[in-house]
């Protein structure tokens, strides 16, 4: 892990995130950045899998919601939607989750995913409930 990469924090990096290869490079309640490799996350046709898109969107948004919730509370996803816009066959998929709403009991993030050439490949939205 390089100096610019962080893990997902205590008790927040799942075996699934590790298997997908998700790396968080920036984290705050307002903005979370990360990436995952295309290699190992493709469908049988050799392109980035839509399930990997959903996983990356949910992980990035959830990390932001956990940051917003703070140590005394927790965040759980309540709604996820994704629009797939372009396929990718190699390299990395990069994601930026941007907070749209940070409330007392909810957090909502828009998550845009791009390829190595910064072309938008998918856009999603994650809603989380803050419990606590």
- Residue-level pLDDT at 63: 95
Considering the domain boundaries, does residue 4 fall inside one? no
- Residue-level pLDDT at 95: 98
Side-chain-side CA neighbours of 102 within 13 Å: the count stands at 16
> For the whole model, what pTM was predicted?
0.90
Q: How many residues are given for the chain?
A: 132
Domain region containing 19: 15-131
Contact, 79 vs 127, CB < 8 A?
Answer: yes
* CA–CA dist 106, 24 (Å, integer): 22
- Catalytic positions are 58
- Residue-level pLDDT at 10: 44
Considering the domain boundaries, does residue 33 fall inside one? yes
CATH number (domain holding residue 40): 3.10.129.10
Q: H helices within 4-131, ranges in order? A: 15-20, 50-69
The count of structural domains within the chain is: 1
Considering the domain boundaries, does residue 9 fall inside one? no
| pLDDT tens across the length of the chain (132 residues) | 333 444 445 445 688 889 999 999 999 999 999 999 999 999 999 999 999 999 999 999 999 999 999 999 999 999 999 999 999 999 999 999 999 999 999 999 999 999 999 999 999 999 999 998
């Amino acid at each position: 892990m390089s100096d610019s990469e962080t893990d997902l924090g205590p008790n927040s990096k799942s075996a699934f995130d590790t298997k997908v290869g998700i790396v968080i490079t920036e984290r705050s309640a307002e903005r979370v950045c990360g990436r995952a490799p295309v290699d190992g996350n493709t469908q049988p046709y050799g392109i980035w899998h839509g399930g990997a898109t959903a996983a990356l969107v949910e992980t990035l948004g959830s990390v932001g919601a956990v940051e917003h919730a703070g140590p005394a509370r927790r965040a759980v996803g309540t709604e996820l939607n994704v629009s797939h816009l372009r396929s990718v066959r190699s390299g990395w998929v990069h994601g930026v989750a941007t907070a749209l709403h940070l409330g007392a009991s909810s957090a909502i993030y828009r998550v845009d995913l791009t390829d190595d050439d910064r072309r938008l490949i998918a856009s999603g939205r994650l809603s989380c409930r803050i419990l606590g």
